[in-house]
Amino acid sequence: MTATVAEEGLALIEALEAARTCMYEPDQDLPEQLTGTASALRKNAGAKSTPPWNAQAAAAYFDSAQSVRLLEQELTIEVTGHTPRPRGGSHENTIMAIHMITRLTTDDTAARQLRHIRTPCDQLPARDTQERPTPIRLTADAEKPPLCPYCRTPQLRLFQRSGRVVCFYPNCTDHDGNRAAASLTRNHLDGTPMLIGDDGTTW
């Protein structure tokens, strides 16, 4: 059953609270690729210093909070025809923006947007309710990642726990018109890794 806008709003509030708590735990091992917010935080702290917070959690929290404000603004203009007054940057204002979104619409699209906004918080190691995708290498000695068979870009990402591989290049679709994705398996003849696309093709 698809979650409603109200349910997704409550789930987002819970995820933001968790990320906010994690922010105050120093980050011992920063990921190689951080979102824009985390990169800025680390740059401001100095290239060789370790920031006294969890940069990954800070990135997840602030990026999600900003996305909430943008979604509230878009929906307010769409529903009322008026541009809302900008909200302050406090946590309380973020929560108020989420509640306003749930009052403005019950549309499934808004529910999906809230779920998407929640993803960075859910992917935090301390929360780990959504797996973080990683660049894929089919063999340990491979110098380059494999190319997506549809868009021919190295944008394939692996969800290791499920063995799912998804192309993250915008608007990349398979022969059935769906988002390009495959399942990681092994060749039953020689045991080498192989990808079977959702449209039945072998990558």
Rounded Cα distance, 118 and 170, in Å: 20
| 3-state class (DSSP) for residue 86 | coil
- pLDDT value at position 141? 66
- Which residues face 157 on adjacent strands? 135, 166
- In tens digits, the chain (203 residues) has pLDDT values of 578 999 999 999 999 999 999 888 765 444 443 334 444 434 444 444 455 678 889 999 999 999 999 999 999 999 999 998 999 999 999 999 999 999 999 999 999 999 999 989 988 887 777 777 787 765 666 677 788 999 999 899 888 777 889 998 988 999 998 889 998 888 888 877 788 999 989 88
∠ CA 22-23-25, nearest 5°, is 70
- pLDDT value at position 64? 95
Is the Cβ–Cβ distance between 5 and 30 less than 8 Å?
A: no
User: Environment class of residue 186 by beta-carbon count within 10 Å: exposed (0-12), middle (13-18) or buried (19+)?
Assistant: exposed
- pLDDT value at position 70? 95
In sequence order, what E strands does 17-83 have?
none
pTM above 0.75, yes or no: no
- pLDDT value at position 140? 63
In sequence order, what E strands does the chain have?
134-135, 156-159, 164-167, 181-186, 193-197
Rounded Cα distance, 16 and 14, in Å: 6
